Structure 1
Amino acid sequence: MLRLVGIGLGTPDYLTLKALRALEESDIVYLDCYTSIISSELIEFLRLRLGGRLVLAERSDLEEGVAEIVKRAKSMSVTVAVPGDPLMATTHVVFLEEAVKEGVTFEVIHGASSITAAIGASGLSSYKFGRIVTVPKNAGEESLKTICRCVEENMESGLHTLVLLDVADGGLRAAEALGSLLMVAAEMGGSFGPQTPVIILARLGYGDEFRVVCRASEAGGLSLPPPPHVVIVPAETRSYEREAVKALTVRGGELLDTYRPTSRRRARAERYIAKTSGVLSKLAAARNDAETSKILELVNSYVEDARHFLDSGMLDDSLIAISYAEGLLDCLRIIGRVEFTW
């Protein structure tokens, strides 16, 4: 039997009862010590529970030893214990593929992941996150450019970016990662820059976890606990997100109140609203029959809705509302009730 067991956010408190039971029932447990930072407290806890059955596994043990570990699972109960959730990294999916190939039965026990924990702890809507990126230690210029492009693409789509930081050799600090990204972003241009608000989450799940909002250029001045760190680059936020961020972070949430990253969608909505409002004001001043006036009132309601959605950061809803307004005006023109040009 092969088990992949998620052990949570790196401390004993996040071990589920099912995970602990599976570990204790195993003949051997390989503890993944390279895909995330694990507290010495958790390692000591597992040593006391498992004794000599616990193997501290490094990258080579897991990536090069898949076949051997699965082979052992044919005759004994073997567990690979993984920080977070065991299927969030392709490293561990390979174990299941090998088990299927070798006819070995397997079980997956899920755990709390730093990815879902970070999204939840930020206060931002989980439905508004785009592609996730990772900043490696000693990342090259091309790698950093790729990350910056992803951040820009997410922003343009109104999506927040979860930026994971390398955990190798003690972990990458938020200030280091942001400093590297800002240097590249300055050359590339775009919305992401020194004044961009970022949410920094340090040591989620630990007793000294820390959550703060600051400008990207100010991260170096913060006194943060050691890694693991996670950074979130928000897109335009909605009012309920801003209130949640303020409630869940120690300070800086007010930076999001006036934050409006450059966006072609926002510019398009503003342009459409201005154009439709101009046409509507001219038509409303003309003499219209009762039915036409009623429809123009409906058009005005859609324009006001579009403005409200725009102010609330709901860009898609703003564009939808203004398109309804434009459609009604076009219909009135087609049937000869009004005359205007866009």
Structure 2
Amino acid sequence: MLTFVGLGLYDLGDISVKGLECVKCADAVFLEAYTSRLMGTDVPAMEAFFEKEVRVLAREDVEQNPREILDCAAKGRVVVLTGGDPMVSTTHADLRLRAAAAGIETSIIHASSISSAVSGLSGLQNYRFGKSCSVPFPAKGWFPTAPVETIAANLALNLHTLVYLDIQKDRYMRIPEAITILEEMAQKRGIEPPDLYVGIARAGSDHPAVAAGTGAKLKETDFGPPLHILAVPAELHPMEREYLEMFAGL
């Protein structure tokens, strides 16, 4: 049996009662920690809270060689913990497909997701979001422009864009850096950069940071520690504008 358990957004208080009971009863517990991370806790705290060993998975352990996970799940009850909601990432959907193909029963215990939290914190209506994108850290000889092209395509359809920011082993992209990168992408592609952004930091914590404004304004805003995420709004509905004025300093 393989169960995907969402941890929610920020710390161990976000896991559901159902998810906690599942972890407590598991024979083996794995943590996928490269697509998202809970900044309000760490692995030792998880092990103390769950009273279980938590084995941390690298990208290749899930995407290329998940044999250890599948072998354990074929023999007993296995939990794969994920930040946010388990099936937001296609990586987890692929692992579930592999398990099902191997005859292993699977299930999902959902949790809060950044995709819904952004709507709640910003007031941007969830049904008005188009395709999302991710801004990666540039590397030598590699500077993709697909994110700004996605934003431009959404804006042409009057749709908001959720912009995920890169997470590496010990490096987290911040909102000002992401905006600078997007502006450089826009210049490279000959596209007008967005004139309005909404930046959100530490969604799910007791003190999230939310600010809306121009790129110049948000690059000067101190959002504090990660994780950070961006939204690029399309034309604002009057209620969206009022919400941003009230809660995000627009």
TM-score above 0.5: yes
Q: Which residue of 1 aligns with 2:189?
A: 188
Shift of residue 141 of structure 1? 8.3
Aligned partners of 1:188 and 1:97: how far apart in 2? 38
Shift of residue 246 of structure 1? 1.9
Consecutive unaligned residues in structure 2, runs of 5 or more = none
8 Å Cα contact 2:2-2:106 kept in structure 1: yes
Aligned partners of 2:43 and 2:206: how far apart in 1? 16
Aligned pair in 2 of structure 1 residues 42, 26: CA closer, same or farther (>3 Å)?
same
Shift of residue 233 of structure 1? 1.0
Q: Which residue of 1 aligns with 2:242?
A: 243
Aligned partners of 2:14 and 2:43: how far apart in 1? 13
Aligned pair in 2 of structure 1 residues 43, 53: CA closer, same or farther (>3 Å)?
closer
8 Å Cα contact 1:6-1:110 kept in structure 2: yes
Matched residue SS, 2:41: helix
Q: Within 5 A, what are the aligned runs for 1:265-284?
A: none
Matched residue SS, 2:207: coil
Q: Which residue of 1 aligns with 2:89?
A: 89
Q: Which residue of 2 aligns with 1:98?
A: 98
8 Å Cα contact 2:211-2:218 kept in structure 1: no
Q: State how many pairs are aligned.
A: 249
Q: Which residue of 2 aligns with 1:15?
A: 15
8 Å Cα contact 2:85-2:113 kept in structure 1: yes
Shift of residue 171 of structure 1? 1.2
- Structure with the larger helix share: 1
Matched residue SS, 2:88: coil
Aligned pair in 2 of structure 1 residues 207, 44: CA closer, same or farther (>3 Å)?
farther
Aligned partners of 2:212 and 2:96: how far apart in 1? 39
Residue identity matched to 1:204: A
Matched residue SS, 1:87: helix
Shift of residue 138 of structure 1? 1.8
Aligned partners of 1:129 and 1:27: how far apart in 2? 39
Q: Which residue of 2 aligns with 1:311?
A: none
1:175 aligns with 2:176: yes
Shift of residue 159 of structure 1? 0.6
Aligned partners of 2:226 and 2:97: how far apart in 1? 32
Matched residue SS, 1:71: helix
Aligned partners of 1:56 and 1:138: how far apart in 2? 26
8 Å Cα contact 1:197-1:234 kept in structure 2: yes
Q: Which residue of 2 aligns with 1:121?
A: 121
Cα deviation 1:52-71 (Å, max 9, x = unaligned)? 53212222332233233112
8 Å Cα contact 1:37-1:171 kept in structure 2: no
Aligned pair in 2 of structure 1 residues 136, 175: CA closer, same or farther (>3 Å)?
same
Consecutive unaligned residues in structure 1, runs of 5 or more = 254-342
Aligned partners of 1:222 and 1:33: how far apart in 2? 28
Aligned partners of 1:199 and 1:144: how far apart in 2? 22
Matched residue SS, 2:87: coil
Matched residue SS, 1:74: helix
1:230 aligns with 2:229: yes
Aligned pair in 2 of structure 1 residues 140, 234: CA closer, same or farther (>3 Å)?
farther
Residue identity matched to 1:56: V
Computing the radius of gyration from Cα coordinates, the structure with the larger value is 1
- Structure with the larger strand share: 2
Residue identity matched to 1:245: L
Q: Percent identity at matched positions? A: 29
Q: Which residue of 2 aligns with 1:70?
A: 70
Aligned pair in 2 of structure 1 residues 40, 202: CA closer, same or farther (>3 Å)?
closer
Aligned pair in 2 of structure 1 residues 202, 40: CA closer, same or farther (>3 Å)?
closer
Shift of residue 5 of structure 1? 0.7
Matched residue SS, 2:154: helix
Cα deviation 1:237-276 (Å, max 9, x = unaligned)? 1111111222332x1x2xxxxxxxxxxxxxxxxxxxxxxx
8 Å Cα contact 1:209-1:225 kept in structure 2: no
Q: Which residue of 2 aligns with 1:218?
A: 217
Aligned partners of 1:40 and 1:190: how far apart in 2? 38
8 Å Cα contact 2:43-2:54 kept in structure 1: no
Cα deviation 1:31-67 (Å, max 9, x = unaligned)? 1111112235253442113345321222233223323
Q: Within 5 A, what are the aligned runs for 1:113-152?
A: 113-138=113-138, 144-152=144-152
Aligned pair in 2 of structure 1 residues 222, 136: CA closer, same or farther (>3 Å)?
same
Aligned pair in 2 of structure 1 residues 60, 142: CA closer, same or farther (>3 Å)?
closer
Aligned partners of 1:149 and 1:18: how far apart in 2? 40
Instruction: Normalising by structure 1, report the TM-score.
Output: 0.68
Aligned-residue CA RMSD (Å) = 1.9
